[in-house]
Structure 1
Amino acid sequence: TSGDTSAKTHRLQHIAVYDKSFSINQSFSFCASDLMKKLSKLCLALSFSLFLTPAHADSPITSTEISSAYADVAIVQVAKGTAGLLNDQLMQYLVDEKNPIDVKMAIINELNWTPDGKNNTKTFVDYLKKNTRYNSEDAIIKQAPADILLAIAYINASENRHDAKGAMAFAEVALAKNNKSYTVQLVSGIIKAQVMFDVSWCDAFRATDDVRQNAANLTMDMRAEASDNVFQYMDLYQRYCK
């Protein structure tokens, strides 16, 4: 609801990666350059009601509704009942490569709708290190598949929406690993729109519209209703393109 959206507060976290390792701190920043060319030298920081016109209280991360299109999926219902916190059941689903990526993003989107977002980025990264073969931050960056990297990006963007550059850096790695997935492209577009939100509302619109224009060349792995919900909000910004 609009009350839930306005009530959200987000803790900042740092996940800084230098050369072959990164440390997790309390807030997020982005310090990477040449991200796509040299992962071994990666320096990253993982630093609804729709209104008639966009408002600063809204944002691409907080106002794009994906989860409602998956209300019939049991694991999304689980996410709805966790008060915005990742738990072991949800994280087990997120890391299982057999599970569909769109449902994974619906889980994260459902968590985004809960007030008082918690320390989910650190919780998820710690879970990966303890329970998967990605037992270090370096292994996560280099070896984890696109859906896990996108999950990290989307979780962090929701917790750090005022500075989502670090989240965008992870989304870019996800795109490098799977640029044919409509879900990867659209969620990355939402995160990019969040980065652009305080710069240019037109550029925020284009971040997701570019995905729509290229949809014929992508694997459609998201429900049409979810995609439509995203554009119902993002299209409010089209009027700012001259």
Structure 2
Amino acid sequence: MKKIVVFVLIINTLFLSHKIASADSPITSTEFYEAYMDVKMVQRAHLQSVLGFEIAEFLSSPENPIDEKAAVINALSWKFEGNNNAEFYMYYLALRYHVPFVQLDTDFLNADEIFCLGYLMAMDNFSHPEDALPILEEAYKTLNNSFTVSMIFALVKSQLFLSMDLCEVWKSVEKVLMNEDLKQDLRTEAKKKVIDYMAGYKEYCQ
């Protein structure tokens, strides 16, 4: 499990100036939350764009499915100047598990919470996906049978290839699409929105 060092790095990352390269990216342009607008908390996240206490509770509740949690985070969206939603969620988690903020580490969290924290980090600072990947990878080790988790992990990884190999941007997602063993826990319309955008990178594999 990732120890407190990771969380120190997260905190430092959140307070760094954001070097935003482009809003046209796998992380920011796959707005699959639109397929979940019948979910009250997705509606709230879309309207507020800021993670509040009720949204944090929703993300941590074991009663809520992982695809709806992902849709909530997707609906919170992004800003050019960056968001602090991952930081807010960390404060909530510290309160939830009755530990000082600076002592919080992933040993306290369940896999869903680790995934949500990693995805929030990716949305907050989408020009630096490498900061979120260690957290998402840890969640993926437990939740690797989930199509939703696998796809989000792939989207964040694909962001790394934007300035190197655009074909690899598509291949990261294609591997998930080709995996027939995954639990199809993302709504069909949401999956289509992701594929429709990411297919634009497929032409670079010609």
* Cα shift readout 1:210-236 (whole Å, capped 9, x = no counterpart): 10000x201111101101100100010
CA distance in 1, matches of 2:163, 2:133: 15
CA distance in 2, matches of 1:235, 1:71: 24
Q: For residue 99 of structure 1, give the secondary structure of its aligned residue in structure 2.
A: coil
Q: For residue 25 of structure 1, give the secondary structure of its aligned residue in structure 2.
A: helix
1:195: how far off?
Answer: 2.0
Work out which of the residue numbers 143, 148, 154 in structure 1 matches 2:113: 148
Matches of residues 151-170 of structure 1 in structure 2 within 5 Å? 151-170=116-135
CA distance in 1, matches of 2:85, 2:55: 11
CA distance in 1, matches of 2:191, 2:107: 29
1:18: how far off?
Answer: 2.8
1:68: how far off?
Answer: 0.3
Equivalent position amino acid for 2:147 in 1: Y
Matched, 1:231 2:195: yes
* Cα shift readout 1:60-92 (whole Å, capped 9, x = no counterpart): 01100110000111111111221x110001000
> Who is 1:207 aligned against?
172
Q: For residue 93 of structure 2, give the secondary structure of its aligned residue in structure 1.
A: helix
How many residues were matched structurally? Answer: 199
Matched, 1:221 2:185: yes
1:140: how far off?
Answer: 3.9
> Who is 1:77 aligned against?
43
> Which gives a bigger RCO, structure 1 or 2 (Cα 8 Å, sep 6+)?
2
> Who is 1:91 aligned against?
56
Matched, 1:241 2:205: yes
Matched, 1:27 2:8: no
Matches of residues 35-114 of structure 1 in structure 2 within 5 Å? 56-82=22-48, 84-112=49-77
Change (3 A) 1:96 1:192: same
Whether the 8 Å CA contact 1:134–1:143 is kept in 2: the answer is no
Q: For residue 122 of structure 1, give the secondary structure of its aligned residue in structure 2.
A: helix
Equivalent position amino acid for 2:177 in 1: R
Q: For residue 22 of structure 1, give the secondary structure of its aligned residue in structure 2.
A: helix
Percent identity of the aligned residues? Answer: 32
CA distance in 2, matches of 1:28, 1:176: 25
TM-score normalised over the length of structure 2: 0.86
> Who is 1:7 aligned against?
none
RMSD between aligned alpha carbons? 2.5
Whether the 8 Å CA contact 2:79–2:124 is kept in 1: the answer is no
Whether the 8 Å CA contact 2:83–2:125 is kept in 1: the answer is no
Q: For residue 160 of structure 2, give the secondary structure of its aligned residue in structure 1.
A: helix
Q: For residue 34 of structure 2, give the secondary structure of its aligned residue in structure 1.
A: helix
* Cα shift readout 1:112-148 (whole Å, capped 9, x = no counterpart): 1567542111111111011136766776423422221
CA distance in 2, matches of 1:134, 1:234: 40
Whether the 8 Å CA contact 2:114–2:136 is kept in 1: the answer is yes
1:56: how far off?
Answer: 5.0
